[in-house]
Each structure stands twice: as C-alpha cells, then as structure tokens.
Amino acid sequence: MSVAAAMLLSGCAGQAIQATPPPSTVVAAATPDPAATAQRYDLTVERPFTLSDGSRATGCVQVAVDLATTTDGTADPRVVKARALLTRHDWQSEPVSLDELSADEEKIEKDRGESEQVMLAGILMNHISKALTDAGLLGDGLSLRGHVGC
C-alpha cells in the first residue's frame, strides 16, 4: 500500500453495486483543518469507486485530531496507533457495496438527496470507524470526517 497521498472516505447514493477498487490505498500525512485551529486531520484515506453508470468518483475519510485533548496532536499514542492501523490495511480492496444498506436506509439517503458516491463513501467510513473503534482508538480527541472528493 502506498503511504503518500490522501485516505479518502465518502458515501455514495444509488443502486446496490459492488465497487471495483483500484490496486492501492493512498494514505496522506497530516493536513490542517482550515475551519478549526484546534483540530488537524492526521490521515486522509482516499478511495475511488466505480458507480453503477460506470463512471468513477472519489470518496474521502479523514481522521481528525483534536489538539486540545491529545498530548501533542502528533505523537499521542492513539494517533500513532491509528496511523499504523490505517496504513497497514488496504482500503482499496475493502469490499464496499450499497448492499450493506437496508432498503429503508437506502431510501432515507436517496430521499435526502444523497448520491451513490456519498452513500458508498459513508459505508467506507463505517468500515474505518469500526476498525478504529474495535482497536479502542476513536473518541477522546480522535474522530472521523467523510466527504466526497479530497
């Protein structure tokens, strides 16, 4: 896996499909949050998806580090462990499909106007959230933000 660019996560609306991932996940280093000075995005996971119409779209998931609640915002042991966990896993190969949504969930997302890309990115964010939660790393200064594009 390449440890260089951005780890993106976003959701995608639309039909239930199995996304065809590219060969490697891109994981980027810290980027400041332009909207909040007390928060920084330590890692960004970028993941392209193949949509039901055959087009490609990118989703993005970022790990937010609250500088006020972590030891130094960089070397905090949870940040270091989260970085290691996310860069070890090939998020490009992670199966992400709208089939993971119930019919009711998909209808709610569509009624809110969410695109297929946004729904798929949201599903990927759920996978990343679960991995970080299972490892005891989310919360207390670490959170996720998912969106379309990076």
**Does residue 5 fall inside a structural domain?**
no
State which residues form the domain around 49.
26-148
- DSSP bridge pairs for 61: 45, 146
Report the domain count for the chain.
1
Q: Tell me, yes or no, whether 2 lies in a domain.
A: no
Tell me whether residue 14 is in a domain. Answer: no
pTM to 2 decimal places: 0.71
Residue type, 6: A
In a domain, 104, yes or no: yes
Residue pLDDT, tens place only, 99-133: 999 999 999 999 999 999 999 999 999 999 999 99
Residue 58: CB atoms within 10 A of its CB come to 19
Task: For 14-69, write each residue's pLDDT tens digit.
Answer: 323 233 333 344 555 555 444 545 778 878 888 898 899 999 988 889 888 887 77
Assigned domain for 18 exists: no
First to last CA, the chain: 19
